């Protein structure tokens, strides 16, 4: 049913403070390992070599529970289930607390420049010693799954050259070396693409933080406030952000800068705010004004031309998505209500979220990947209409069938209360007929103020 979008007085969504992080259980960690081993078995991999550094640690962390922070690291998982951790100087201590049983090998070349090289050994020697030279099919897992149409995606590797060189040198001449990141992140089969109740609770912590932070930042917008002050509102509980924090007013990227500065917010400025933690991103874009009369002369129709159609697309996304639908179906839904030819969005209108802000996406033109219970997804529709400021209300939700919903309710009753409150807000306040398969992990799903200074006003739907 087509709905009218109104900008009107709307109560703010509830935020939840003092929500403690949920640890991943031993059972979950074992389940993760078994999922990866099963994927290896299906494709005949004898071993996989999983790389990590501070920026690219999601697949490694999925099994170990940690990233190697300032160094590189490798986890070699054999089809038998045996694991080897290859770590530099400052992460040796992590092997004892890793969430997977392992054999530790010290490799000081993974350490920072000029640190001691005690126990130095060639990486080729290490690979040979742990039996990689006897394997027939070896998978290489960085962070990136390549999806080009004109190249051999399995032959692309996103690891440092010296690691790939060592693998090529030490492997059997007849052995096959292939990119195997898809075993973890591809929507139709990746181990990481679906989550159990414990994992949903684990990742909801970050989604709750990001959405609470974005609301606090929106409330802090005033004439004269600096980007730095707003940026400070986008941090929380000492947690590491999974994207570069955005608090950008007026013209962006001056001097090629991408960080908040001490620039002051001015009346009429466009303003973008974004923050993200493990499990969730929240983002907003709009104008620092109180009403439509203060819009720039060349954007007086901003609401009708850009903002309201965008909100209709977000609403359609939330009302249409369901377990079992193919990615292309959701893609075409957004194309029908928010045509790319008119609004010039070019990325996927939704993607998977986990320890990183963008893991992969089953939502693309022609996708036959099926949306599954346990997927955590970010609404990510980005219009780019020439001559107009953008608009955004990016947030995270999970898909959960009846079984998973009941499991969350039983195991994490406080989380279920938060989910219930978020659902009620969307349905009863914003008049969004939320898909029954959605459990909102963010507090501010569907909440959009296009005018930052009109703090009591937001969009909501009215049935025609």
pLDDT value of position 13: 98
DSSP letter at 266 equals -
Answer whether residue 88 shows pLDDT above 60: yes
* pLDDT tens, residue by residue, 426-448: 999 999 999 999 999 999 999 99
pLDDT at 2: 64
Return the pLDDT at 463: 78
User: Both 132 and 219 in a single domain?
Assistant: no
Query: Does any domain span residue 267?
Result: yes
Domain count of the fold of the chain: 2
Domain end position, chosen among 179, 207, 227: 179
Q: Is the residue at 36 inside a domain?
A: no
Q: Is 102 within a domain?
A: yes
Listed residue (322, 218, 331, 213) closest to 272, CA to CA: 218
Q: How far is residue 260's CA from residue 228's CA, in Å, rounded to a whole number?
A: 5
pLDDT average, residue stretch 407-432: 98
Task: Label the pairing between strands 246-249 and 280-287.
Answer: unpaired
HSE-up (13 A, CA, CB side) for residue 96? 2
Residue that the structure tokens 């389940």 belong to: 31
Among the listed residues 216, 208, 279, 283, the one whose alpha carbon sits nearest the alpha carbon of residue 244: 283
Instruction: Give the separation between CA 398 and CA 373, rounded to whole angstroms.
Output: 8
Same domain? For 84 and 155 the reply is: yes
Please determine, for residue 380, whether its predicted confidence score (pLDDT) is greater than 70.
yes
- pLDDT at site 285: 98
Question: Per-residue DSSP letters for 416-437?
Answer: HHHHHHHHHIIIIIS-----TT
Looking at the structure, do residues 134 and 112 belong to the same domain, yes or no?
yes
Is residue 367 domain-shared with residue 322, that is, in the same domain? Answer: yes
Look up the CATH number of the domain holding residue 455: 3.90.230.10
Position 3 scores a pLDDT of 80
Please give the residue range of the domain that contains residue 291: 3-20+192-463
Two structure tokens written together for 405: 């919903």
Is 30 part of any domain? Answer: no
- One domain, residues 407 and 267: yes
The whole-angstrom separation of Cα 380 and Cα 370 is: 18
Cα 398–403–406 angle (5° rounding)? Answer: 85
Band of pLDDT at residue 85, cut at 50, 70 and 90: very high
Same domain, yes or no: 294 and 434 = yes
Tell me which of 127, 149, 179 is where a domain ends: 179
Is-contact 68 98, C-beta < 8 A? no
* C-alpha 283 chain-centroid distance: 12
Instruction: Look up the pTM and report it.
Output: 0.97
81 shares its domain with 155: yes
Is the torsion defined by CA of 97, 103, 104, 107 positive or negative? negative
Q: Is the Cβ–Cβ distance between 389 and 285 less than 8 Å?
A: yes
What are the backbone dihedrals phi and psi of residue 122, each rounded to the nearest 5 degrees, phi first? -70, 145
Distance CA 154, CA 182 (A): 10
Q: pLDDT band at 1, cuts 50/70/90?
A: low
Residue 40 in any domain: the answer is no
Mean pLDDT across 344-353: 96
Please report whether residue 154 resides in a domain: yes
Name residues whose C-beta falls within 8 Å of residue 254's C-beta, 6 or more positions apart in sequence: none
Does pLDDT of 37 surpass 60?
yes
Is there a contact between 40 and 25 (Cβ–Cβ < 8 Å)?
no
Residue 163 and residue 223 in one domain: no
For residue 211, which phi and psi values (nearest 5 degrees)? -70, -35
Beta carbons of 342 and 371 less than 8 angstroms apart: no
Residues 321 and 437 in one domain: yes
State whether 9 and 71 are in the same domain: no
Could you say which DSSP state residue 264 is in?
Answer: B
In a domain, 39, yes or no: no
pLDDT band for 99, please (50, 70, 90 cuts).
very high
Question: Mean pLDDT for the chain?
Answer: 97
Q: What are residue 277's DSSP bridge partners? A: 280
Q: Is the dihedral of CA 59, 318, 271, 305 positive or negative?
A: positive
Scanning 44-93, the segments in alpha helix (DSSP H) are 58-64
Neighbouring CB atoms inside 10 A of 320's CB total 15
41 located within any domain:
no
The answer on 196 and 171 residing in a single domain is: no
Question: Of 133, 150, 179, at which residue does a domain stop?
Answer: 179
Q: pLDDT band at residue 34, thresholds of 50, 70 and 90?
A: very high
Encode pLDDT of 285-327 as tens digits: 999 999 999 999 999 999 999 999 999 999 999 999 999 999 9
pLDDT higher than threshold 80 for residue 105? yes
- Do 196 and 284 belong together in one domain? yes
Parallel, antiparallel or unpaired: strands 457-463 and 3-9: antiparallel
């Amino acid at each position: 049913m087509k709905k009218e979008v109104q900008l009107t007085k709307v109560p703010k969504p509830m935020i939840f403070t003092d929500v403690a992080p949920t640890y991943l259980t031993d059972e979950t960690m074992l389940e993760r390992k078994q999922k990866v081993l099963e994927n290896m078995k299906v494709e005949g991999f004898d071993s996989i070599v999983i790389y990590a550094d501070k920026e690219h640690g999601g697949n490694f962390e999925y099994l170990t529970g940690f990233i190697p922070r300032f160094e590189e690291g490798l986890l070699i998982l054999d089809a038998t289930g045996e694991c080897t951790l290859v770590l530099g100087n400052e992460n040796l201590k992590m092997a004892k607390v890793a969430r997977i049983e392992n054999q530790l090998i010290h490799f000081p070349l993974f350490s920072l420049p000029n640190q001691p090289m005690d126990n130095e050994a060639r990486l080729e020697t290490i690979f040979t010693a742990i039996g990689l030279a006897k394997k027939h099919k070896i998978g290489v897992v960085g962070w990136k799954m390549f999806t080009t149409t004109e190249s051999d995606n399995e032959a692309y590797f996103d690891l440092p050259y010296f690691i790939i060189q060592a693998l090529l040198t030490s492997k059997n001449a007849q052995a096959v070396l292939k990119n195997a990141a898809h075993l973890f992140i591809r929507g139709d089969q990746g181990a990481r693409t679906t989550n159990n109740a414990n994992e949903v609770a684990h990742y909801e912590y970050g989604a709750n933080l990001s959405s609470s932070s974005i609301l606090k930042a929106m409330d802090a917008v005033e004439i004269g406030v600096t980007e730095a002050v707003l940026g400070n509102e986008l941090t929380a509980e000492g947690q590491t952000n999974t994207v570069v924090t955005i608090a950008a007013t007026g013209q962006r990227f001056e001097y090629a800068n991408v960080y908040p500065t001490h620039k002051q917010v001015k009346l009429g400025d466009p303003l973008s705010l974004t923050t993200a933690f493990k499990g969730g991103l929240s983002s907003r874009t709009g104008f620092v004004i109180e009403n439509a009369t203060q819009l720039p002369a060349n954007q007086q129709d901003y609401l009708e031309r850009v903002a309201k159609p965008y909100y209709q697309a977000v609403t359609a996304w939330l009302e249409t998505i369901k377990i079992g639908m193919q990615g292309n179906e959701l893609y075409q839904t957004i194309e029908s209500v928010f045509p790319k030819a008119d609004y010039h969005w070019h990325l996927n209108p939704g993607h998977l979220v986990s320890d990183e802000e963008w893991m992969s996406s089953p939502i693309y033109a022609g996708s036959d990947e099926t949306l599954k219970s346990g997927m955590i997804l970010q609404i990510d529709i980005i219009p780019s209409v020439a001559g107009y400021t953008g608009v955004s209300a990016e947030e995270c939700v999970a898909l959960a069938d009846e079984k998973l919903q009941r499991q969350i309710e039983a195991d994490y009753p406080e989380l279920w209360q938060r989910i219930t409150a978020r659902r009620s807000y969307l349905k009863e306040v914003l008049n969004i007929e939320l898909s029954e398969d959605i459990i909102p992990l963010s507090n501010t799903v569907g909440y959009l103020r296009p005018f930052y200074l009109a703090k009591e006003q937001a969009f909501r739907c009215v049935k025609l």
